[in-house]
Structure 1
């Protein structure tokens, strides 16, 4: 199919319908992760799910995000070379197959592998969406289109947990993945009909060695972090070795990318402060919030005894805030500047993370809902201006690279957030429960005693097995988990606050004419449309 070019200064004639299709494809990727958060407890259940351990649950998330992040830049280049529409359709099909395999996984290991296949499909999808938006929209409308694209994340957050809760109330755990299949089919048909083909006339070359280094480095580093939480000790060789090795491989990856002519991840683009600070704000924000979503699901279901549907409904305030703020972010940036909007968003995220100190085993649930709303509003203030800064900092023909940088930062941050903050919760929980387990009967097998101290789900499963004899462990388990959650949330708040300082110091502010003495500059500035202004 021949490439369809945008028409002059108005963009592609079907650009808004195309945006709808791209938002739909984004929904399926985000929907899967938000549904999974609600299903984690069920998957951990040995009777209703797969009996996955805490580390296996972390890997079910990170196998997806690490493959996703490691291949994003490569698929951005492939889309520029082979055609963005073609690559997008291929990614959707792979994602659908991975969803089908995840739904019928028979063990945690199979689920982790199937999730990695979904990550492969997601890596092909995400770069193409922003690349196609950049191609079909005129720069004057692009900020508004990106704001809608970013706001669709809030819609997925709203749909995902509630949909997951409804499915888990009526079907088996695999239904949360199977629901992706009809969505994928509908999206592929719409893409074939509506989305134009486009490609970069001068695409870059692939960098398989760089891709290999990035995936190996991230996987080994994540393994070390998760193992630290699993063992409850960070000074053992089995923990320090992978962490040091992973960091060394990532350093080698950066060194290689800075010197190769065709990098898998063009680190030289970070010389532009608009791009580097924007990427940093996204990474800090998603690192801080990803781990919170991971343990928040267990807090709501295991500590507060909510059903999956009720736990999903508790995330609605986050989604409402996203939907309300994201579409208005372009106008806010036009009025106050990207620096002010993005820094304010980061501070709101910091405030919400600190607010988790108010959540315990007996606190009113509206506090959790209020925290989720503030967090959603904060993230909605960060993502659109940061994404627009990234996309405007790269040449139009390198839109795939810019999109890949944006999404790589997010996915790596998600993986590291889940690994680090999840391990913090696990380590504190195991440490506090170690002495409490002495109340268990000595006749219990050693593997059961070990499972009882590994995670809150393991403890509650043993309590259910013992009946009244184990009731004395319920309150200590809740207390230990909440303490771990508080420490992890404070850690995340510190990270988010550092991100706010980064944005406030280095992100460019509102653009103004350089001098009033230059009439031409003043006329140009006055006639240029503001960011987010409608045509």
Structure 2
């Protein structure tokens, strides 16, 4: 294999430029996912979309994205992480352009499926390239903190930017945001980024099919949970998911060259970190969904004003991600993750105390604490997880971590949505019937002052219960991280240059 000889100061400078490319690639995914929530009312009216159409616009992406993650992570290890990243960006950018031109729900759903494929291609590559490029522990922590901050900024900034775009242009303009970011990231990747890949392994077609079928079915079950677990379609999907995923696990432990190295779960940092993040994502998964409804329907804010309320979350994440990079070197991942998660639990308790007439002070305190805790805990968790990953499996291991978190987030949305919906209905007066009894939005749309007031109080109480459940989940994650994780100082690799340049055994010459 022809190897890269990049080293020295130039290599050091290039690493940080590569980080910018990885942050751009992450930004395009996060912004797209968040901006679509703002565009739903406008595209519903413009495309004459039914509620089922909108559900498929939202769900088609996550189904394809989650179902393909392990496969695309394996492909990036085999064929090159930069190559797969560029292909993913190109697919995502082209699909975004197609989405802007959609004239009916079917065309938009097809574009969202293509965007899910592009997202699945580029997401594992970003984190795997990051840990391959940044071999020095201190630099890796700083890079991980920057990468996490960009994701948080996109999480908050996406709806704000989307609200501005929709107020001045048409609904399709929200997808235009992806195109220049994707183009810039592709050009930068071609110019700056070296190729990296693992050693060649035999394809695993059976494992690929089983993982796609199992993960897609599992996510479908989670999405359908709020509609009722006993539905025949949900039970069939659950049976398929269990059979496929169990078969996948057995098969991957029997073959000589598995697609996914499941033995990683024998490592405390990988298994403990992954399980902790899953619990966190379950707690956080429905936060934005519930909080957005609280801001818009209970407090009466516009979509844009509601989005601006999340700024304290982003500011705190920025500050504490930066602090966490230095503190992690001094204290290690385990205490940083433990303290950060406990702060998140306190944030949920603060948010659980929100009432129908509260001002913004309590809300901002809760969101700031949540951003601070996440800023300390999340980079430490991901650093611990990926630090346990051998370079040759960086892509598929990153995909495995992404899959666990995506599943946790989807489960969190389903659980929190179900809890809030059931408690909301139970809290509504018996005199209120029809859809207004089951939906806050429908209750507000009646225009009846008494119904609206009852709905506001019922929803706030239901949200409080959900936030308490989130606090319990995050506290459990803190306990798991403290008990399971270990901070082990890895010896310096003899192949690592003093400047932290990339290990040449995992790099091939850039295709300039």
User: CA–CA distance in 2 between the matches of 1:39 and 1:480?
Assistant: 27
TM-score by length of 2: 0.86
Residues 314 and 264 (structure 1 numbering): CA distance in 2 closer, same or farther, change over 3 Å? farther
Q: CA deviation at 1:162?
A: 1.9
Residues 219 and 78 (structure 1 numbering): CA distance in 2 closer, same or farther, change over 3 Å? closer
Of 149, 152, 171, the residue aligned with 2:150 is 152
1:210 equivalent in structure 2: 207
1:297 paired to 2:279: no
1:92 paired to 2:89: yes
1:505 paired to 2:477: no
- Which has the bigger relative contact order, CA under 8 A and spacing at least 6? 2
State whether residues 61 and 415 of structure 1, in contact with CA within 8 Å, keep that contact through their aligned partners in structure 2: no
State whether residues 276 and 478 of structure 2, in contact with CA within 8 Å, keep that contact through their aligned partners in structure 1: yes
Residues 266 and 50 (structure 1 numbering): CA distance in 2 closer, same or farther, change over 3 Å? farther
Q: CA deviation at 1:204?
A: 3.2
Residues 341 and 328 (structure 1 numbering): CA distance in 2 closer, same or farther, change over 3 Å? same
Q: CA deviation at 1:244?
A: 5.3
TM-score by length of 1: 0.83
State whether residues 24 and 182 of structure 2, in contact with CA within 8 Å, keep that contact through their aligned partners in structure 1: no
User: CA–CA distance in 1 between the matches of 2:36 and 2:207?
Assistant: 30
Of 458, 469, 472, the residue aligned with 1:480 is 458
Q: Deviations over 1:155-188 (max 9, x none)?
A: 3234223212212332333322222122212222
1:380 equivalent in structure 2: 375
2:253 equivalent in structure 1: 258
Unpaired segments ≥5 residues, structure 2 = 501-512
Q: CA deviation at 1:331?
A: 1.6
1:339 paired to 2:330: no
Matches within 5 A, 1:128-207: 128-140=125-137, 141-200=139-198, 202-207=199-204
Which moved further from structure 2: 494-503 or 424-433? 424-433
State whether residues 349 and 378 of structure 1, in contact with CA within 8 Å, keep that contact through their aligned partners in structure 2: yes
1:65 paired to 2:62: yes
User: CA–CA distance in 1 between the matches of 2:207 and 2:454?
Assistant: 47
State whether residues 429 and 454 of structure 2, in contact with CA within 8 Å, keep that contact through their aligned partners in structure 1: no
2:262 equivalent in structure 1: 267
Of 387, 394, 409, the residue aligned with 1:399 is 394
State whether residues 436 and 476 of structure 1, in contact with CA within 8 Å, keep that contact through their aligned partners in structure 2: no
Unpaired segments ≥5 residues, structure 1 = 439-448, 513-520
1:517 equivalent in structure 2: none
1:81 paired to 2:65: no
Q: CA deviation at 1:125?
A: 0.9
Q: Deviations over 1:48-103 (max 9, x none)?
A: 676664x8766654433343233222222222222222211110011123323444
C-alpha RMSD of matched pairs (Å): 3.2
Residues 134 and 222 (structure 1 numbering): CA distance in 2 closer, same or farther, change over 3 Å? closer
State whether residues 343 and 504 of structure 1, in contact with CA within 8 Å, keep that contact through their aligned partners in structure 2: yes
